Chains A and B, each alone.
Chain A
């Protein structure tokens, strides 16, 4: 009983702010500016969502462009860092070679480095090569966050799989790479799914790099667009709320549907 009460209180505290964001996104502008405030709007409107999906110019269209950019940058980073992470993670987990421990530790240390340290030289470099405000440039810098992470989690996942299966495959005539592709990868699928998800969410959420490396709708990602419009005064908050709800949708849905994978990823990535 006490536990149910606790769970209910916790749920209310968690849901209330988020529900208010959702309500704000469908409230008429006059409802939002009312004193005293009503908790349910008189005019319910989906116009802001419609605007974001179909608007040709203005804030709404910029939100849409930013979402598309976020998707492309996220997908690009996932492809690069997870493939690199699978290859390197396998070597770190299964092969014996000189300096193995040192390689492992150095990847871990790079994972801990605050992005703010890397950002100044990367900015100067990008400016020199004309990569500022491009999606490609953003994918490159996001690999600095994602690759050490992908390496680390993939090597933990590979390390947790029984060696015997792989040895059996090799006795049956598989090469090491053949065993990796035919035996290990299918077994490691939960780990790969979790890593893909984490890397994608990392990119979807990332703000500091995106703020500094992008400036127009060519490459601006969704967090930058939302932060920019939030900072302006006299802005339609309902529209930001709608943008926020849309930006929250992919990660929230992924997290809820793939809960178990995510939890496995959380503990494997950081506890061991």
Chain B
């Protein structure tokens, strides 16, 4: 028990090397780059501009528009995913025939690669040949074909939300299923004997006991949604009228299309700060709630 440190060091060395080389070093380097003005991929002496890049970003309306889209996407998709996921988790937990089949079906969107999901929805929402237009006109819910992704920026953003919710509700549901199965069934039964209806049982027993799981999955989804890139890239390419550009998408454009590496690095660091803030605010809220419960 005394001489464990050398062994621990030896076992952790490969991990430390990998993590240092491809995570910590680049993270530190990105911070340095964000204070310089690097405008080409070649090594060289680039001028130090201090917080200049950050000031540029914060005074640029494109950044604020992207921040708004990111925030809307994050709030809308995580809210829908948690609400729908809660319902789906209840269905998954319920005893029924062919439950294995139902679980296999629900796991499908989660397993579908994000890019395939985006390409699939782009095809379904196609303005001229898309299945959604065909379905809605054949059901006489709509007279003409509609451009879902190409005309109205806000509509396009909402369609991206739909595609994201279709894919990620599964993940949320399976998470919540794990949380649900940890709640002893006797609690609900006892409450029912005491005369509580299903809704009261859910509100007073299931939901409070599920809170740690809900919190975990919510934080996870908020952080993921905040970094959204691939589904936007493949569904709308940031358009129409830059209306679906998110912060990560803007970072990608600035760094790799415009080769403004420093500007991109500064943007990326603003994402890190936002993600950390979100996590902190959230943890704080959670702790306050726990205090009140005591």
- List 6 A–B pairs whose Cβ atoms lie within 8 Å, in order of A's numbering: A87-B12, A91-B8, A118-B30, A119-B255, A144-B19, A237-B129
A84 cross-chain contacts in B, Cβ below 8 A: 14-15, 18
How far does the Cβ of B66 sit from chain A's closest Cβ, in whole Å?
13
How far does the Cβ of A42 sit from chain B's closest Cβ, in whole Å?
15
Distance in angstroms between the alpha carbons of A135 and B70 in the assembled complex:
32
Does A92 interact with chain B (Cβ within 8 Å)? yes
Q: B-side interface residues toward A, CB under 8 Å?
A: 1, 4-5, 7-9, 11-12, 14-16, 18-19, 22-27, 29-30, 33, 38, 41-43, 87-88, 91, 94, 96, 102-116, 118-124, 126, 129, 131, 134, 137-138, 166, 170-171, 174-175, 177-178, 213, 216, 220, 223, 226-227, 229-230, 233-234, 237, 248, 251-252, 255-256, 261, 264-265, 268-269, 271-272, 275, 279
How far does the Cβ of B30 sit from chain A's closest Cβ, in whole Å?
5
Distance in angstroms between the alpha carbons of A125 and B23 in the assembled complex:
13
Residue from B4, B134, B170 within 8 A of A96 (CB atoms): B4
Q: Is the Cβ of A3 less than 8 Å from the Cβ of B30?
A: no
Q: Is the Cβ of B113 less than 8 Å from the Cβ of A223?
A: yes
Residue from B12, B24, B91, B271 within 8 A of A103 (CB atoms): B12
Decide: A120 near B106, CB < 8 A? Known: A113-B272, A266-B174.
Answer: no
B9 cross-chain contacts in A, Cβ below 8 A: 97
How far does the Cβ of A33 sit from chain B's closest Cβ, in whole Å?
6
Decide: A11 near B123, CB < 8 A? Known: A252-B112, A266-B174.
Answer: no
Q: Is the Cβ of A124 less than 8 Å from the Cβ of B41?
A: yes
B1 cross-chain contacts in A, Cβ below 8 A: 96
Residue from B108, B114, B134 within 8 A of A37 (CB atoms): B134
**Chain A interface mostly helix, strand, loop or mixed?**
helix
Q: Is the Cβ of B113 less than 8 Å from the Cβ of A251?
A: yes
| Chain A residue at minimal CB-CB distance from B262 | A120
Contact with B along A236-261 (1 / 0, CB 8 A): 01001100100110011011100100
Closest 6 CB pairs of A and B: A88-B15, A37-B134, A144-B22, A255-B111, A121-B29, A223-B115
| Chain A residue at minimal CB-CB distance from B173 | A10
How far does the Cβ of B150 sit from chain A's closest Cβ, in whole Å?
11
Distance in angstroms between the alpha carbons of A118 and B248 in the assembled complex:
12
B131 cross-chain contacts in A, Cβ below 8 A: 20, 37
| Chain B residue at minimal CB-CB distance from A260 | B103
Q: Is the Cβ of A117 less than 8 Å from the Cβ of B268?
A: yes
How far does the Cβ of B84 sit from chain A's closest Cβ, in whole Å?
9
